[in-house]
Amino acid sequence: MRIATAALIVTAALFVASPVFAQATGTSSSRQRPPSKPPAPPLPKPVMNVRVFGALEIEGMAASDTFKAVTGSSTMFGYGGGGEIVNLWKTLFVRGDYTTSSASGERVFAIGDDVISTGIPLKVRLGTFEVAGGWRFRLRKLPKYTPYAGGALLFVSYSEKSDFETETVKDSFPGYSILGGLDIRLQSRWFATVEAQYRFVPDAIGTGGVSLVYGEKDLGGFVARVMVGYNLKK
């Protein structure tokens, strides 16, 4: 009788202790890992839009010594505008625009390695037409900001004009550029963009005059640009 009573007590103790032991060892269902979060929903399908914009830019000329000798500065300030189609296919964009820049200086000529100013006023003008394209990268957590990258084909016109000379130096050259920027959505349909480019316009100069002395041939350079525009569709 005593043996049966002892066995009954031990069995009851084990029955009571088993949940406590399971909880301590992490085998209880209450200690199981919570279910993982469901995956984030996909971004909405990009919608095609047509936009127009105005642009201001500054270009640090690759032919820096040539422009310093003629205009006193290696930078050119420009302005212009254009149009763009975004999300033409997925996040592909294409655009076309035209910018013009000018600077005043003096006519110079070279004798050997020496550059001599003539004191004759001169106006230098650049006109750049580009057709660009690339990809936009949407940010899930920052929907107002859209970085992008791409490239462009260029057609650059260059001219020199002086009031004291009957002939005007004028020519056009093909080129290309690589570019990247950040598109910022503003209120309503407005947007702003900051962009960096590097333009290549090889073998445009360097065959005579001061550019030959300095051995500079490229009419391109580094460009920083700000654009403000309007979406034609919400």
Between CA 187 and CA 177 the distance in angstroms is 31
Q: What is the CATH number of the domain that holds 177?
A: 2.40.160.20
Residues 66 and 179 occupy one common structural domain: yes
**Residue 21 structure tokens:** 């032991």
Residues 11 and 93 occupy one common structural domain: no
Could you give the C-alpha distances from 205 to 1, 94, 212, in angstroms and in order? Answer: 116, 30, 8
38 within some domain:
no
Q: What pLDDT was estimated at residue 116?
A: 86
Could you give the C-alpha distances from 82 to 11, 26, 128, 163, in angstroms and in order? Answer: 87, 66, 12, 32
Q: What pLDDT was estimated at residue 32?
A: 64
36 within some domain:
no
**Residue 36 structure tokens:** 């993982």
Q: What pLDDT was estimated at residue 113?
A: 72
Q: What pLDDT was estimated at residue 14?
A: 43
Domain span at 123: 49-231
Q: What pLDDT was estimated at residue 111?
A: 77
39 within some domain:
no
Q: What pLDDT was estimated at residue 179?
A: 98
Q: What pLDDT was estimated at residue 186?
A: 95
Q: What pLDDT was estimated at residue 128?
A: 98
Residues 69 and 145 occupy one common structural domain: yes
Q: What pLDDT was estimated at residue 5?
A: 45
SS3 state at 29: helix
How many structural domains compose the chain? Answer: 2
Bridge partners (DSSP) of residue 86 are 49
Residues whose CB falls within 8 Å of the CB of residue 171, separated by 6 or more in sequence, listed in order: 157, 158, 159, 204
Q: What pLDDT was estimated at residue 31?
A: 60
Q: What pLDDT was estimated at residue 44?
A: 83
Residues 102 and 196 occupy one common structural domain: yes
Between CA 104 and CA 156 the distance in angstroms is 19
13 within some domain:
yes
Residues 12 and 58 occupy one common structural domain: no
Could you give the C-alpha distances from 216 to 54, 111, 200, 205, in angstroms and in order? Answer: 31, 17, 13, 7
Q: What pLDDT was estimated at residue 34?
A: 67
Residues 92 and 159 occupy one common structural domain: yes
41 within some domain:
no
Between CA 122 and CA 119 the distance in angstroms is 9
Q: Give, for all 234 residues of the chain, the pLDDT tens digit.
A: 444 444 444 444 444 444 444 454 444 445 667 677 777 677 888 999 999 999 999 999 999 999 999 999 999 999 999 999 999 999 999 999 999 999 999 988 877 777 888 888 999 999 999 999 999 999 989 999 999 999 999 999 999 998 777 667 899 999 999 999 999 999 889 999 999 999 999 999 998 889 988 999 999 999 999 999 999 987
Between CA 76 and CA 176 the distance in angstroms is 18
Using DSSP bridges, classify how beta strands 169-185 and 92-111 pair: parallel, antiparallel or unpaired. Answer: unpaired
Between CA 84 and CA 54 the distance in angstroms is 11
Which amino acid is it at 206?
G
Residues 136 and 217 occupy one common structural domain: yes
